[in-house]
Amino acid sequence: MSRSIVESPIRTWVLLFLCGSLLPACLSPQAANGNSPLALVPEVLAVLPHDPSAYTQGLLFYNGHLYESTGLYGRSELRRVDPASGAVLARVPLAQRYFGEGLARVGDQLIQLTWGERTALRYDLHTFALLDRHTYEGEGWGLCFDGRHLYRSDGGSTLVLHDPVTFAVVGTLPVTDAKRPVNHLNELACVGEQIYANVFLTDHIVRIDKQSGRVTAHIDAGHLLPPHERALLPTDAVLNGIAFDPLEMVFYLTGKRWPKMFKVRLRQP
């Protein structure tokens, strides 16, 4: 998500209650066809530094660099980051009226969502020059590109498909687990025929078949930050950041204001 927990306490506690009370329904272990989705865990290959001031909203990997969208009004940015050192190599601030959200690459351009401003910002990948703006209905949370369509989440259980050139809506993809909707879909990563989405306010990531919308795997990332490290972080420092490196076949995972980035490979426990 999305909006700062501090900025919206009532809504946040409602979401916390729903996520806690409805988590078995949101993350049911049984698939609609009777087969259980895989249970996966991140195997940590490396622990890397991450800017603890970054309110991470979107993350992607391309050509040896991480590209990161950060949020909060007056502090939102688009960044190019060195994965090994965590150093910010390039950055551009958003106008104060924008709350940065999901991020996707389309060729030599980047598209960054904004939360409640119904505006997608299109940049040159190399210079970060702003090229265009697109409007859309509803909220912007996560964004990813599969080579054909952009997929956008808005905190609900349905992904919206957009044309990568015009940003026009071209379809929707309801996401289900055991025929029940999976709510609070947030940060997205498109990987082949699958979409990875974190479930807001939890340490869970679901893997979604992009043809059927069915959840095919649950990923428990709760062990990445141990309890004593979590205790030092603000309450809004939740898991939010999924990037995939297709060359090494690994993921980069982080969260809002996390001081660490984790390079992981997903495996069965």
Q: Is 68 in contact with 25 (CB distance < 8 Å)? A: no
Tell whether the model's pLDDT for residue 10 goes beyond 70.
no
pLDDT tens-digit map of 186-204:
999 999 999 999 999 998 9
pLDDT tens-digit map of 51-70:
999 999 999 999 999 999 99
Give residue 120's pLDDT: 98
Q: What angle do CA 160, 165, 166 make, to 5 degrees?
A: 70
Tell whether the model's pLDDT for residue 28 goes beyond 80.
no
CA distances from 234 to 252, 257, 259, 269 (A): 22, 8, 12, 30
pLDDT tens-digit map of 83-115:
999 999 999 999 999 999 999 999 999 999 999
Phi/psi at 263 (5° precision)? -90, 120
Rg (CA), the chain: 17
Give residue 56's pLDDT: 97
Q: Which domains does the chain carry?
A: 9-267 (2.120.10.30)
Give residue 1's pLDDT: 56
Mean pLDDT of 125-141: 97
Q: Is 225 in contact with 258 (CB distance < 8 Å)? A: yes
Give residue 70's pLDDT: 97
Tell whether the model's pLDDT for residue 5 goes beyond 50.
no
CA distances from 181 to 23, 175, 185, 261 (A): 11, 6, 10, 30
